């Protein structure tokens, strides 16, 4: 089952999915923190958590692309409506302005922005894990280097 199946053909579960993933993202900070954990624990959990959050990021990227196409679809439908059924002769700029204020467009664009917000949270989390990985490598290298200087 893909995330698009989870949100439903009419996007009826999109908000629920976004709430679920937003709540998971809000709990990510406690997993990223390395203080209070051993170096071994941090190194063992690093790939597991990074892969977990990156998988969600990839799923949300799919939803973001889907919602981008939905925004374009709504925009195209409205453009066609203004072109074919409007008695007034409107310039392309005028049509754009009318479309930008249409409730159908605004609702779809709002959903797109909500998806983008949650997606960007996961971009940030994955980037934090990359930085955490570099920090763990540096700490490990420092510990190994100091062990090399010990006389046996």
pLDDT in tens, 37-47: 999 999 999 99
Give the CA angle between residues 34, 40, 45 to the nearest 5°.
Answer: 65
| Closest alpha carbon to 105 in 71, 152, 139 | 71
Strand ranges inside 1-145, DSSP E: none
pTM over 0.85? The answer is: yes
pLDDT at 148 over 80: no
> Nearest 5°: phi and psi at 11?
60, 25
The Cβ of residue 48 has, within 10 Å, a number of other Cβ atoms equal to 10
């Amino acid at each position: 089952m893909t995330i698009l199946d989870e949100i439903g053909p009419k996007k009826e579960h999109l908000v629920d999915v976004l709430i679920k993933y937003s709540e998971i993202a809000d709990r990510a900070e406690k997993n990223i923190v390395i203080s209070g954990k051993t170096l071994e624990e941090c190194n063992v959990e690093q790939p597991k958590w990074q892969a977990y959050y990156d998988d969600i990021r990839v799923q949300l990227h799919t939803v973001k692309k889907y919602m981008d196409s939905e925004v374009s679809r709504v925009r195209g439908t409205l453009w066609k409506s203004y072109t074919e059924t409007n008695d007034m002769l409107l310039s392309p700029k005028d049509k754009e302005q009318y479309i930008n204020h249409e409730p159908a467009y605004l609702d779809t664009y709002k959903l797109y922005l909500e998806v983008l917000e949650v997606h960007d949270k996961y971009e940030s989390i994955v980037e934090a894990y990359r930085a955490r990985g570099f920090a763990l490598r540096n700490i490990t290298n420092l510990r190994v280097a100091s062990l090399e200087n010990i006389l046996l």
